[in-house]
Amino acid sequence: MTKSNYIPKEPVDIECNIERTLHVIGGKWAFLVLRELFCGTKRFGELQRLIPDVSPRALTSTLRHLEEQGVLERHVFPTVPVTVEYTLTPKGEDLHQILKEMKLWAAKWA
């Protein structure tokens, strides 16, 4: 085939598993929220105290995103005031090893 006869193919959109994973956990605060939930169920206020630099709006957004991705569950209790707790799902628990490996890599190279 000569150069003049070459017709470039359209780029193929192949979904990358790493990219999909980063979409789930790639938010600015997601790693810190996950880190806290690996230790057990937490309320919104607890998460806010444990991650002092996160604004209530950013924390709410992160929690909603992680819930939409199936990484955590939101449990609402009919108390006054309403009590809301966040717990990792099995899908969320599976992220623990990945984040542990990232921590080890950072300790070695960062």
Q: Where are the domains of the chain?
A: 16-109
Please choose, from the candidates 64, 24, 28, the residue with its C-alpha nearest in 3D space to the C-alpha of residue 44: 64
- CATH code given to domain 16-109: 1.10.10.10
- Averaged over successive runs of 10 residues, the pLDDT of the chain (110 residues) comes to 59 72 88 96 97 96 97 96 96 94 92
How far, in Å, CA of 22 to CA of 42, rounded?
23
pLDDT for residue 20: 86
Q: Which two tokens stand for residue 99?
A: 């984040």
Global pTM reads: 0.81
How far, in Å, CA of 34 to CA of 95, rounded?
8
pLDDT for residue 26: 79
Q: Which helix (H) or strand (E) holds 36?
A: helix 30-37
pLDDT for residue 13: 58
